[in-house]
């Protein structure tokens, strides 16, 4: 039986793969997407990973993967649909029906885009409603778009789109931003970004494609329609933890409860990256988690 199954190939999973290979563990990485790298492959620039100033997110993801490949890490593509454990082993079933077993697992499955859950969002998804400016921004050249959110992703998306679009509305439910001050300052300086603060989108309108959004000011209660060709929703992430809920304890938001050693409520299951409870979800902390989780796996295997 293998020593370890790593689920996820973002910065946490790929770092875990690198550390696991260096520790000569018999392991396999299960990745959901055809391209490794996780969320960063859709991030224009990662400006805060030490030593790699102005690094493209996609390029950084590829570098992590090349590193894991160079050490001989084994990858399989598949969607985990069942996850169970006993004190002897962990069993993972993929959508394809394939089953993998190992003595331990590191869950590094990350998080997915949080929907706004407003009328029109589902119907117009892919018809002007997008969750990834880097992926879809090019469809909106010289058009009018809106970005919803106040975190790093929303402000970075607004800046990215401002270079392509005629105009970008940046809609945020408060008047203070969670995003890094430097990028908020840059967005304020952009001539074609209009800040719509203390406001929420209540509906996305359009027949077959997005034509307008209804925006409500939460302080005054006033609602107005803004004509837009596209709306980019960047209101945070939801952990991809549903399938693990019977095997390990989750917090009230669905994150796997684990400290920086990656230890969960189950002795042979570890969590790393955005899927676990933590204060700061960044590439650098995800990578650190991957390293820590492998160290915990090694300690656990030595204790058997
Ligand atoms: P985030 O930091 O959690 O921000 C989510 C934003 O959406 C917040 O401003 C939040 O408002 C707003 N929001 C949440 N639910 C909403 C709703 N239902 N309606 C309207 N607004 C809503 O998420 P993120 O921007 O996706 O970033 C995720 C993580 O990745 C963060 O830790 C971020 O720092 C990191 N990241 C880092 C970089 C980088 O280092 N270069 C780049 C991208 C992302 P409130 O502020 O009012 O809560």
Q: Which atom of ligand 1 is nearest to the CA of 48?
A: 40
Q: How far is the CA of 174 from the centre of ligand 1 (A)?
A: 12
Q: How far is the CA of 61 from the centre of ligand 1 (A)?
A: 21
Nearest alpha-carbon partner for 25 in 109, 104, 80, 88: 104
Show pLDDT as tens, one digit a residue, over the chain (304 residues).
999 999 999 999 999 999 999 999 999 999 998 899 998 887 777 878 999 988 888 999 999 999 999 999 999 999 999 999 999 999 999 999 999 999 999 999 999 889 999 999 999 998 999 998 887 899 999 999 999 999 999 999 999 999 999 999 999 999 999 999 999 999 999 999 999 999 999 999 999 999 999 999 999 999 999 999 999 999 998 999 999 999 999 999 999 999 999 999 999 999 999 999 998 888 999 999 999 999 999 999 999 9
**Total Cβ atoms within 10 A of residue 301:** 15
Cα–Cα distance for residue pair 171/132, rounded to 1 Å: 16
For residue 46, the model assigns a pLDDT of 81
Buried b vs exposed e over 129-138: b needs ≥16 C-beta within 10 Å?
Answer: bbbbbbebbe
Q: How far is the CA of 181 from the centre of ligand 1 (A)?
A: 14
| Ligand 1 pocket check for 42: Cβ under 6 Å | no
pLDDT of 33-55, one tens digit each?
889 999 888 777 787 899 998 88
For residue 41, the model assigns a pLDDT of 84
Is the separation of the CB atoms in 91 and 99 below 8 Å?
yes
For residue 118, the model assigns a pLDDT of 98
Residue ID of nearest Cα to ligand 1 atom 33? 152
Q: Which atom of ligand 1 is nearest to the CA of 281?
A: 32
Give the global pTM. 0.79
Cα–Cα distance for residue pair 52/48, rounded to 1 Å: 8
Domains, the chain, in order of start with CATH, read 2-113+237-303 (3.50.50.60), 129-233 (3.50.50.60)
| Ligand 1 pocket check for 48: Cβ under 6 Å | yes
């Amino acid at each position: 039986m293998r020593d370890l199954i790593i689920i996820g190939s973002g910065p946490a999973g790929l770092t875990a793969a690198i550390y696991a290979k260096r520790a000569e563990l018999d392991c396999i990485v299960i990745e959901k997407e055809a391209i490794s790298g996780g969320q960063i492959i859709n991030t224009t620039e990662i400006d805060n990973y030490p030593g790699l100033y102005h690094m493209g997110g996609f390029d950084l993801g590829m570098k992590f993967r090349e590193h894991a490949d160079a050490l001989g890490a084994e990858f399989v593509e598949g969607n985990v649909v069942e996850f169970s454990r006993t004190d002897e082993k962990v069993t993972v079933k993929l959508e394809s029906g394939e089953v993998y077993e190992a003595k331990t697992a590191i869950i590094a499955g990350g998080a997915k885009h949080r929907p706004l859950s407003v009328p029109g969002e589902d119907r117009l998804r892919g018809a002007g409603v997008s969750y990834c400016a880097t992926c879809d921004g090019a469809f909106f050249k010289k058009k009018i778009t809106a970005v919803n959110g106040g975190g790093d992703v929303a402000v970075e998306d607004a800046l990215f789109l401002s270079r392509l679009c005629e105009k970008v509305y940046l809609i945020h439910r408060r008047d203070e931003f969670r995003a890094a001050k430097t990028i908020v300052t840059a967005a304020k300086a952009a001539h074609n970004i209009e800040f719509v603060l203390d406001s929420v989108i209540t509906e996305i309108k359009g027949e077959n494609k997005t034509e307008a959004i209804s925006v409500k000011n939460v302080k005054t209660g006033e609602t107005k329609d803004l004509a837009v060709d596209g709306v980019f929703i960047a209101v945070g992430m939801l952990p991809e933890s549903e399938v693990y809920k019977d095997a390990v304890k989750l917090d009230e938001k669905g994150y796997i409860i684990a400290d920086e050693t990656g230890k969960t409520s189950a002795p042979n299951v570890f969590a790393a990256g955005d899927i676990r409870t933590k204060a700061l979800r960044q590439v650098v902390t995800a990578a650190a988690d991957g390293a820590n989780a492998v160290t915990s796996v090694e300690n656990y295997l030595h204790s058997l």
